[in-house]
Amino acid sequence: MAGTNHYALTPDRQERVDSWGMNRATLSYVYRPTTAEQVVEAFALARSSGKTAALRGTGCSYGDASLNNEGIVIDLTRMNRILDWNPQTGLITVQPGVTIRQLWQYIIEDGWWPPVVSGTMFVTLGGAAGMNIHGKNNFKAGPIGNHITEFEIVTPGGDVKVCSRNENSELFHAAIGGFGMLGVFTRLTVQMKKIYSGQLKVDAFATKSFADIIEKFSERIDGADYLVGWIDCFATGSELGRGQVHQANYLTPEDDPDPAQGLRVANQELPDTLMGIFPKSLMWRILQPFNNNLGMKAVNLAKYTQSATIGNNETVNQSHAQFAFLLDYVPNWKFAYKPGGLVQFQSFVPYDAAEHVFSEQLRLSHKFGIIPYLGVFKRHRPDDFLMTHAVDGFSFALDYPWTESNKDGVRTLAQVMTRIVLDAGGRHYFAKDSLLTACAAQEYLGSEAISKFKALKSKYDPNHILQSDLSRRLFGAFS
Ligand SMILES: Cc1cc2nc3c(=O)[nH]c(=O)nc-3n(C[C@H](O)[C@H](O)[C@H](O)COP(=O)(O)OP(=O)(O)OC[C@H]3O[C@@H](n4cnc5c(N)ncnc54)[C@H](O)[C@@H]3O)c2cc1C
């Protein structure tokens, strides 16, 4: 792969690169390779210029995982071709910049769906593998890494390795979830999930507390394909932890005698208007006046009241895309958090400790006067990836507004909440993180996993070229 390097460190390559949560803006030299050879050229440029390089997909990580202030950013979104698709086996091979949106739109007509998807369809497969993303079916399907059968990785040290569970297995289990620190996935093969119908049966019901939602998840888990909870973070006292659960199940031939229509992309798409009236592209402007404690308290109360009355025990059929990508209904909804942006605090807590830890998180938020505007609850299971964020338990993801006046408070609150999570044997997730400290990250990952990861880093990236703002925050220069 050696040859002339077309990349240079020139001012015209400098771009502003933001975190998805808009809580951090950086200036970097950005390169968008279209081939593995150009990835090698970008590494060579980093080496010759003494700069570090971070990898980036569509930049959907909430914090600083794909940022590299004053360094190089290798953006993989132009490597976005589907290389091979076998509708008989459901195995697909893609370049890393292919998005989940591209993926499901390509395969659904053949009766397949991605086995694991995030709440937004705009993430890339490279970014999904880099963080080892989970979906609303984590308790059943595990993370995306469980469905990756093979990948090719180009390392800064000059190796091009094919990895699977049988070949270079150690690198396989470390690079998936390795937050872009060991090399660039240039090709990924992923097993898709066979579906019979384009629709899901979705049950919605209200829950009164964390104890209640945990009990309901446990009752339903064996019979559910997807489960997700929403928590009204403004509720206090005896109503603390109240919310709503959505359970979704695949349809069978008895439920959907004519599946062909539902498997068409046009019949999956999210509507262009909300309630048939508001253009969705303008919705964030309509939401913005409500994006304060009073407005969000009212929005959460209205949602809970609806879910506990007319929406309680409601069953509807929904397309896979409508159920999976709820957060894409309102494009750019995050702009309602402008100018400061938002941060997410997502913790993963073992089953027995979840009720106490998540209740404490909400009590503390109220005590600090910094209340999360959105709370999402999921069930998880452990996996065998080196830098895993999963536990046999639950996660609770809290979105906090990030403003000049509250950010010191949010930082302190996060530290207090993290201590409780770690004492309970819990974990955090780099894809969502902006606030962890190095000590906290190293405590939950454990010295054994970190030593193994550092050894692989020294082997495949001996000059420590791959770094990000997140990696420096949590691991220094990996030395
Ligand atoms: C609205 C919203 C909802 C979300 N819901 C979920 C959810 O339900 N579950 C979940 O798990 N996550 C969720 N996420 C987080 C998101 O799935 C992850 O942050 C994902 O990694 C983003 O992918 P990306 O393509 O944007 O990658 P980026 O954010 O750009 O990068 C993510 C990581 O992957 C690395 N990387 C990128 N490309 C490559 C490559 N080719 N080779 C090696 N490393 C690479 C980067 O260095 C970085 O460390 C959500 C995010 C948003 C904005």
Distance set, CA 355 to CA 93, 199, 265, 393 (Å):
41, 33, 40, 10
- Please, where in the chain does CATH 3.30.70.2520 lie? 199-435
User: What's residue 275's pLDDT?
Assistant: 54
Structure-block tokens of residue 213 = 């939602």
C-beta of residue 416 within 8 angstroms of C-beta of residue 423? no
What are the angstrom distances between the C-alpha of 53 and each of 48, 183, 326, 369, 436? 12, 10, 33, 39, 22
CATH 3.30.465.10 location in the chain: 82-194
* DSSP letter (8 states) at residue 99: B
* Closest ligand 1 atom number to CA of residue 54: 47
Other Cβ atoms within 10 Å of 174 Cβ, number? 23
The angle formed by the CA atoms of residues 215, 220 and 223, to the nearest 5 degrees, is 165
Q: Is 116 in the pocket of ligand 1 (CB under 6 A)?
A: no
Instruction: Write the single-letter amino acid at 25.
Output: A
CB neighbours (10 Å) of residue 170? 13
Ligand 1: distance of its center to the CA of 59 in Å? 7
Query: What residue spans in the chain does CATH classification 3.30.43.10 cover?
Result: 11-76+454-475
Q: Among residues 39, 45, 61, 343, which one has the least CA distance to residue 179?
A: 61
pLDDT at 299: 82
Query: Per-residue pLDDT for 277 more than 80?
Result: no
Q: Which of 81, 123, 430 to mutate to test the pocket of ligand 1 (most atoms within 8 A of CB)?
A: 123
Any ligand 1 atom below 6 A from CB of 7 = no
For residue 54, what pLDDT band results from cuts at 50, 70 and 90? very high
Which residues is 165 bridged to in the sheet?
A: none
Q: Is residue 378 within 6 Å of ligand 1 at its C-beta? A: no
**Does the pLDDT value for residue 276 go beyond 60?**
no
- For residue 212, which phi and psi values (nearest 5 degrees)? -70, -45
Over range 342-354, report the average pLDDT: 98
Check if 377 has its Cβ closer than 6 Å to any atom of ligand 1: no
| Per-residue pLDDT at 65 exceeds 60 | yes
d(CA 130, CA 26): 21
Q: Is residue 123 within 6 Å of ligand 1 at its C-beta?
A: yes
* pLDDT tens for each residue of 429-468: 999 999 999 999 999 999 999 999 999 999 999 999 999 9
**CATH 3.40.50.1370 assigned to 11-76+454-475:** no
Ligand 1 proximity of 57 Cβ (cutoff 6 Å): yes
Please state which CATH class domain 82-194 belongs to.
alpha beta
User: Rounded to an integer, what distance in angstroms lies between the CA atom of residue 249 and that of residue 93?
Assistant: 27
Give mean pLDDT, residues 289-307. 85
* Residue percentage of the chain with pLDDT more than 90: 86
Q: Contact, 133 vs 118, CB < 8 A?
A: yes
Spatial separation of the C-alpha atoms in residues 254 and 243, rounded to whole Å: 32
**Mean of pLDDT values over 15-24:** 98
What is the residue with the minimal CA distance to atom 14 of ligand 1? 118
Q: Which of 316-330, 331-345, 389-403 has the highest mean pLDDT?
A: 389-403
What is the topology classification, in CATH, of domain 199-435? Alpha-Beta Plaits (3.30.70)
Q: What percent of the chain has pLDDT over 70?
A: 97
DSSP for 258-314, please give it. Answer: -TTGGGSGGGTSPPSEETTTEEGGGHHHHHGGG-SHHHHHHHHHHHHHHHHTTTTTE
Query: Which atom of ligand 1 is the closest one to the Cα of 136?
Result: 8
Distance of CA 130 from the midpoint of ligand 1 (Å): 7
Tokens standing for residue 172:
């396989």
